[in-house]
């Protein structure tokens, strides 16, 4: 694609967030339609920030969740979490979580747009907020939530050979998932599916 810029991103992403409550159009069930229960519980509203570091070689920033967390322990994820009553919007949720988890303040982020809302198998409706992250930030992981932070070049995500579709055992049942293996980092599940969505829109 052409050189990454705010204009490029805004031209390929959803320009405005959808109305609340989110009605996801993508989900963990896309590869596993047979496992969706008939009774669909109310989904917990949440947001993540997909931070694209604005360098000559753009990269996406990820976190590794602490192993003791209740939801998705030890997994690779984007900064994010559940909406708080004090948040003015889900965009505010994503930016607040970025600062709480790894100490990057909102003034380093320019929101470029949004991806389609995503439903996780654990009952969350997640809004992926795509932000251009200016250089000069300092990462300080919040030890109770984050074990580590790393970056993946955008060109790796773009490469068709990077995407895998795998079968795993999830709570005793077989599941199909998307996955990316970048060095020692295994990106799978909802995070990988959101990367697939980002790749479709950007490339």
Contact 149, 185 (CB under 8 A): no
* CA–CA dist 197, 187 (Å, integer): 14
Tokens representing 155? Answer: 């060109």
Query: Is 0.75 topped by the overall pTM?
Result: yes
Tell me what pLDDT residue 1 has.
47
- Strands 109-114 vs 185-188: parallel, antiparallel or unpaired: unpaired
How far does the chain reach from its first CA to its final CA, in angstroms? 6
- The residue assigned the tokens 């947001």 is 47
Spacing of C-alpha 115 from chain mean position: 10
Mind listing the pLDDT tens digit for each residue in 7-57?
A: 999 999 999 999 999 999 999 999 998 887 656 678 999 999 999 999 999
Tell me what pLDDT residue 170 has.
78
Q: Taking the domain 6-15+44-158, which CATH number applies?
A: 3.90.79.10
Mean pLDDT by 10 residues, the chain (203 residues): 80 96 94 77 94 95 81 82 97 98 98 97 94 96 92 96 92 89 96 97 93
Tell me what pLDDT residue 122 has.
86
Map out the domains of the chain as residue ranges.
6-15+44-158
């Amino acid at each position: 694609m052409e050189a990454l810029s705010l204009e490029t991103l805004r031209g390929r992403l959803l320009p405005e967030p959808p109305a609340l409550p989110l009605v996801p159009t993508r989900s963990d069930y896309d590869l596993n339609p047979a496992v969706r229960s008939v009774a669909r519980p109310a989904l917990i509203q949440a947001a993540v920030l997909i931070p694209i570091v604005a360098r000559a070689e753009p990269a996406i920033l990820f976190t590794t969740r602490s192993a003791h967390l209740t939801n998705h322990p030890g997994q690779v994820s984007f900064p994010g979490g559940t909406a708080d009553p004090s948040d003015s919007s889900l965009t505010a949720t994503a930016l607040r979580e970025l600062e709480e988890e790894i100490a990057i303040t909102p003034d380093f982020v320019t929101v470029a747009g949004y991806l389609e809302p995503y439903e996780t198998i654990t009952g969350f409706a997640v809004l992926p907020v795509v932000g251009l992250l200016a250089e000069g930030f300092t990462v300080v992981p919040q030890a109770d939530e984050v074990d580590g932070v790393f970056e993946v070049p955008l060109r790796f995500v773009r490469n068709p050979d990077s995407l895998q579709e795998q079968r795993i055992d999830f709570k005793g049942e077989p599941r199909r998932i998307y996955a990316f293996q970048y060095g020692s980092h295994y990106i799978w599940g909802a995070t990988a599916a959101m990367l697939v969505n980002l790749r479709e829109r950007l490339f």
